[in-house]
Structure 1
Amino acid sequence: MSEPIRFLLSDMDGTLLLPDHSLSQRTVDAVRSLREAGVLFSLATGRPSKAMLQQIEALGVDLPTAAFNGGTIVNPDGSILVAHYLPATAALTALALFVDQPDVEIWVFSGGDWLLKDPHGPMVPREQHGLGYPPVVVESFEPYLERIDKIVATSNNTELLIELEAQLLPKVEGMAQVSRSQPVFLDVTAMEANKGAALATLAAHLGVPLAQTAAIGDGGNDPAMFHVAGLSIAMGQAEDAVKRQADVVTGPNTEDGVVQAIEKYILPR
């Protein structure tokens, strides 16, 4: 008999959320039934913490949550439990690589603000809808170098992002994490800012052994927590490279895959 799951850590976009960034009532109900069964539940996302508040409230999450792929872990009262900033050298290396790419928009997240130079980029409306707040237009990213939570290169040219990921990885090895949180987003965060470290930190904070944790996600930033969790679940629409690193695969987010996973793999335990 496998161990009962006492803590589930879930990704948000592409996992808990529908493609229009909303939560289905079935998902809200399934999370409530988890908590009624005594299973702890929290969120780990590439988003900034202030872009999780609506979902935290809707789902009744009362535990610390992991933003910026685990770069910032925030207590329910808004105070910071853990913060890892991107080293300035790694930030400069990433920015220098991305700046010459005509198809790529560059976003910098610092202190909860979403900073960019061009507010008219094609990817901006989608992100503003997802985050729920507008960007701050800056002349330069230089003043923020000491406190960068995340740099994102975004483009509809997903092949280009795969190439940029391969080029950047060796340049920032040991200094930064580089992963595609969605096919159109290439995220650069601090070395310690990964969902695996976040899961381990949260489990220790909650007093739950890792063997009794589960993680569910769909993006290239999710296998970090799959490798740490006692049970790992990939979403049905995830890329094959992500699915291969999970113990089980559930339905896609368009079919309430999280609900299916909770009912099939977590509550029966």
Structure 2
Amino acid sequence: MMVNESARQAALSPPASRIKLVVTDMDGTLLTPEKQVTRRSLAAIQTLKDAGVPVCLVSSRPPNGMEMYFEVLGLNTPYGALNGGTIFNADRTVRSELALDPGAVRDALDMLKVHDVDAWLFRGHEWLVENETGAYVEPEKRAIHMQPHVVSSFAGSLNGIGKITGSTADYELLERQEIEIGSLLEGRACVARSAQWFLDITPLEANKGHALQQLAAFYGISPAEVACIGDMNNDIPMLKLAGLSIAMGQANDHVRSHAHFTTDTNEHEGWAKAMESLVLPRVEQPNPAAATPPQGA
């Protein structure tokens, strides 16, 4: 860890002693590399629910790609899609949504095109692509159980865009584009990688910190009473706001420097271990004695 990152972590406020809500990233965090949820993680979610602590999902995924997990997770809570730019109620209706300025969309698309980075647009429940044969389109179809709408040009689809995703197997190029496009769109959009191969461009306030604040407000609690966990740069805004912040074991040093703790990787039950060792000890457990009247009462 670089000196400035060590100093950043040392300057963090102490972790919260009481947690009332868990907000979690999905890919690289709650999900295994095979996009599954382990039995141990499901057991931890159930324990949290039994203790009255809701678990909410926040992801760069479109809503369809999140909702497909609700049944197996047993969740009925609000959630943040498109990197937190669109907040959905538990019944899957839109609670709030943000959109990119059309000019910012145009500028981002121009930059991605110059560097031969495949671009996708997301709007509501729509996924728009120009290049259906792009390297990551087919895997994304399988990952989010969604079919893209193929357009000949994005020119007529610049309004109401909740997220642009740039995808390429050139990870170093995408890292550079995170900086360059971030500079180009400074003050107009939020730019961060959600995976080594995905660069997400969302409305300025559409980040996971915004989603954490919205979800905390829904439950009438402070962000200081929220535990959050993630693994990528786009998780940093919520790590910075949460009372208890946890980085996954495979997260880079920069992400880790914004977290109170680092757990194991998503290959080795990192999410479940974090809930068991860091979150649940900070949860107020139900008192069985309070629910059982004393003998002779």
Q: 1:66 aligns with which of 59, 80, 98?
A: 80
Letter in 1 for 2:234: N
Q: 2:55 aligns with which of 41, 47, 55?
A: 41
Deviations along 1:232-260, whole A, 9 cap, x unmatched? Answer: 00000112211111110001001111100
> What residue is the counterpart of 1:260 in the other structure?
273
Deviations along 1:33-62, whole A, 9 cap, x unmatched? Answer: 111111111000000111111212211222
Deviating beyond 6 angstroms after TM superposition, the runs of 4 or more aligned structure 1 residues are none
Is the 2:16–2:243 contact (alpha carbons within 8 Å) kept by the matching residues of 1?
A: no
Matched, 1:75 2:85: no
**TM-score, normalised by the number of residues in structure 2:** 0.88
Distance, in Å, in 2 between the alignment partners of 1:55 and 1:204 is 24
Q: How does 1:11-22 map to 2 (within 5 A)?
A: 11-22=25-36
Matched, 1:27 2:41: yes
Structure 2 CA distance for partners of 1:123 and 1:29, relative to 1, 3 Å: same
Q: 1:174 aligns with which of 169, 180, 187?
A: 187
Q: How does 1:95-244 map to 2 (within 5 A)?
A: 95-102=109-116, 104-244=117-257
Counterpart secondary structure, 2:277: helix
Q: Report the Cα offset of residue 111 of structure 1.
A: 2.1
> What residue is the counterpart of 1:52 in the other structure?
66
* Identity in percent: 40
Letter in 2 for 1:95: L
Letter in 1 for 2:131: D
Letter in 1 for 2:210: A
Q: Report the Cα offset of residue 100 of structure 1.
A: 1.8
Q: Report the Cα offset of residue 8 of structure 1.
A: 0.5
Letter in 2 for 1:75: N
Structure 2 CA distance for partners of 1:2 and 1:118, relative to 1, 3 Å: closer
Mean CA deviation greater in 196-205 or 109-118 = 109-118
Residue ranges of structure 2 left out of the alignment (5+ in a row):
1-14, 283-297
Distance, in Å, in 2 between the alignment partners of 1:128 and 1:22 is 16
Alignment RMSD (CA, Å)? 1.2
Aligned length: 268
Counterpart secondary structure, 2:258: coil
Matched, 1:247 2:247: no
Q: Report the Cα offset of residue 134 of structure 1.
A: 2.0
Deviations along 1:204-235, whole A, 9 cap, x unmatched? Answer: 11111222111100111001000110000000
Q: Report the Cα offset of residue 21 of structure 1.
A: 1.1
Bigger radius of gyration among the two = 2
> What residue is the counterpart of 1:8 in the other structure?
22
Distance, in Å, in 1 between the alignment partners of 2:171 and 2:254 is 15
Mean CA deviation greater in 1-10 or 213-222 = 1-10
Distance, in Å, in 2 between the alignment partners of 1:238 and 1:128 is 25
Residue ranges of structure 1 left out of the alignment (5+ in a row):
none
Is the 2:61–2:82 contact (alpha carbons within 8 Å) kept by the matching residues of 1?
A: yes
Q: Report the Cα offset of residue 132 of structure 1.
A: 1.2
